[in-house]
Amino acid sequence: MHGDMTGRDSAEWYAAYAADSARRRVKMREKLRSVGLDRVARDAAVLDLCCGHCESLDVLYEDGFRRLSGMDIRLASDVRADARFALAEGDVESPPFAPQSQDWILVIHALHHLEGPEKIGRVLDRAHALLRPGGRLGLIDFTYNPVVLLALHLFRVKPLLVTPYLRYFGSLVQEEWPQLSRYLPQIPRVLARLKNGQFDVETERHGLFYFSMTLRKR
């Protein structure tokens, strides 16, 4: 998950998010594989919008990619100092990268921070402009079903959070609940926008909690 794109998340949220970077990195290679980046030429230019602590870029660098960029509303000082990546701070609706400069763009666990289908649509439009013809957009976020809704509600019940991980994830859900509560009922509209816009759908998978999708610029 990534901080609210309006920058209103608390210092406690950022501290908890930073502390869990190692766990997120362990799972990142599988997530990148789910959108198809394991089959990409290593000279591809890849941009992670809402890059957080750059776990995705770190894994891609380890796998041989070198043309790596990232952007988020707020970057930790150690992330900003990482010379391996071209990084920018700001709203991902206006990324400062050249048109048709990217082969791949990622938005991983961040759609629910983008204030709904209208802003998501504007971010998609900008991503489309940044991609070269045939470029891909890889997306991962919560899917919509009763299990997801129940699980997220239970993570807000503090007496049920009996392990350190449950308490950690519960604190994130509690902090992000204003965004999540708005986003979850709109997921069908978001998915329709993803599938019926200016991209072609290359892959789409729905698990119990998350969906992944790879879109291709025509």
- The per-residue pLDDT for 18 is 56
Count of other CB atoms within 10 angstroms of residue 85: 21
Residue 6 lies in a domain: no
DSSP β-bridge partners for residue 89: 72
Structure tokens at 209: 């909690």
Express as a percent the part of the chain with pLDDT over 90.
Answer: 64
Say yes or no to pLDDT of 120 above 50: yes
Domain-embedded: residue 159: no
d(CA 120, CA 114): 6
8 or 165, higher pLDDT: 165
Exposure letters 107-122 (e unless 16+ CB within 10 A, then b): bbbbbbbbbebebbbe
What pTM was computed for the model?
0.87
Cα-Cα end-to-end distance for the chain? 29
Q: Is residue 166 part of a domain?
A: no
Beta strand 199-206 pairing with 102-108: unpaired
What integer best gives the mean pLDDT of the chain? 88
**Per the domain annotation, does 163 fall within a domain?**
no
Within a domain: 171? no
Higher pLDDT, 183 or 138: 138
Q: Is 178 contained in some domain?
A: no
Domain containing residue 75: CATH number:
3.40.50.150
Per the domain annotation, does 153 fall within a domain? no
Q: Which domain holds residue 60?
A: 11-144+183-217
Per-residue pLDDT reduced to its tens digit, 37-90 = 999 999 999 999 999 889 999 999 999 999 999 999 999 898 999 999 999 999
Among 6-15, 37-46, 169-178, the minimum mean pLDDT is found in 6-15
Q: In angstroms, rounded to a whole number, what is the distance separating the alpha carbons of residues 49 and 69?
A: 9
What is the model's pLDDT at position 218?
94
Across 25-34, 157-166, 200-209, which has the greatest mean pLDDT? 200-209
Number of domain units in the chain: 1
Q: Please tell me the least confidently modeled range out of 127-131, 135-139, 195-199.
A: 195-199
Residue 46 domain-assigned?
yes
Question: Band of the pLDDT at 135, cuts 50, 70, 90?
Answer: very high
